[in-house]
């Protein structure tokens, strides 16, 4: 399996995704993935599997509130993924760059 990246640094082939790749990619972005990061990453992967698209921020927060913790909000996500929560979580999840992200 190839680890080719698209022009945005996301995996071109999701089947090539591994947790080791996610860890190394996050480390290159100076982020150490914690339990909270992994919960969000897995939720983004599940949403993508269900909808065949990456979720916009509002939908991601709504789903995280339902599935993980009612207190999750955008501040929580920005603490985990400071550059852009949906885009970074999607990147580490091995998913394409979200269509709604610049």
Tokens of 63: 């789903």
> Phi/psi of residue 33, each to 5°?
-70, 125
Give the whole-angstrom CA distance, residue 17 versus residue 53: 17
Q: Which residues are catalytic?
A: 101
Residues 74 and 57 sit within 8 Å (Cβ to Cβ): yes
Strand partners, 11: 5
């Amino acid at each position: 399996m190839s680890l080719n990246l698209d022009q945005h640094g996301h995996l071109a082939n999701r089947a090539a995704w591994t947790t080791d790749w996610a860890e190394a990619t996050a480390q290159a972005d100076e982020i150490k993935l914690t339990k909270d990061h992994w919960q969000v990453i897995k939720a983004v992967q599940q949403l993508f599997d269900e909808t065949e698209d990456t979720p916009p921020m509002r939908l991601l927060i709504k789903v995280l509130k339902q599935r993980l913790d009612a207190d999750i909000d955008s501040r929580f996500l920005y603490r985990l993924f400071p550059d852009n929560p949906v885009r970074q979580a999607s990147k580490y999840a091995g998913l394409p760059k979200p269509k709604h992200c610049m």
